[in-house]
Amino acid sequence: GGTRSSTAPPSSPTGAPAGTRGGASVVARAYLIAGAGGMLGTALVRACGERGLRCEAPPEAGFDITDTAEVGDVAGAFVASLGPGERGVLVNAAAYTNVERAEDDPETAYRVNEDGARVLAEAARDAGLGFVHVSTDFVFDGAKHGAYSETDEPNPLSVYGASKLAGERAVLAADPGALIVRTAWVFGENGVNFPTKILGFARDRDTLSVVTDEAGSPTYTLDLARGILELVEAGATGVFHLAGSGS
């Protein structure tokens, strides 16, 4: 509940006060993607390919982010595959994102969005990997007029938003050097999102009714994936907002 107005993060990470950017490094990076079968995971694999970066994308059936032993095995195998001079980075693109269902099943939402994030962050830390965690504008309440900044105080109104905020905190507790990227209104291939829902409704219905009290910045998964890689390559740590421009 509650009106969400202009809750999308700003489109550029430049100058974000809550994050830090180290100097760009010449070290070659290799990426391990959790949630590789989803919209963002698919886009990350593609973005890595565009840049000639090595990317491991294990099927989710063998990479349960809530299974400490399984995550440890996958991370260990990935580290063992790194070549001389390669720096490994684990990206968490997996999440429980069904906002409505989370209200009825908070246990699952927290298990994936908080516990799973913690398991991945701890595994990355223990294996010496960099870690990137993708979060959401739902950590805010939508009361602000205008885009949220990284220093704005979170105030989630939903179980989904609260579970994602808990995940952010679990990640930073496990690895203070992690990179957290908050985004908004994600759309792309290989998933259910607002554009695909509208297209489906348009095929099946004579008229459409949509809410008019929500505003945000739709974010194309490939743009988001490219931005995440650029942040990593720039040595960014801390919290950054990254979303499409406009609303």
Angle between helices 221-233 and 39-50 (to 10 degrees): 60
Distance, CA of 35 to CA of 243 (rounded, Å): 20
Q: How many Cβ atoms sit within 10 Å of the Cβ of residue 95? A: 24
How many C-alpha atoms does 182 have within 13 Å on its Cβ side? Answer: 30
Give the active site residue among 31, 110, 160, 220: 160
Is 160 in the active site? yes
Angle at 181 between CA 123 and CA 117, to 5 degrees: 30
Tokens of 87: 């720096």
CB 240 within 8 A of CB 19: yes
DSSP summary character for residue 53? -
CB 120 within 8 A of CB 131: yes
Distance, CA of 19 to CA of 185 (rounded, Å): 22
- Element (H or E) spanning 230, and its range? helix 221-233
Residues forming the active site: 160
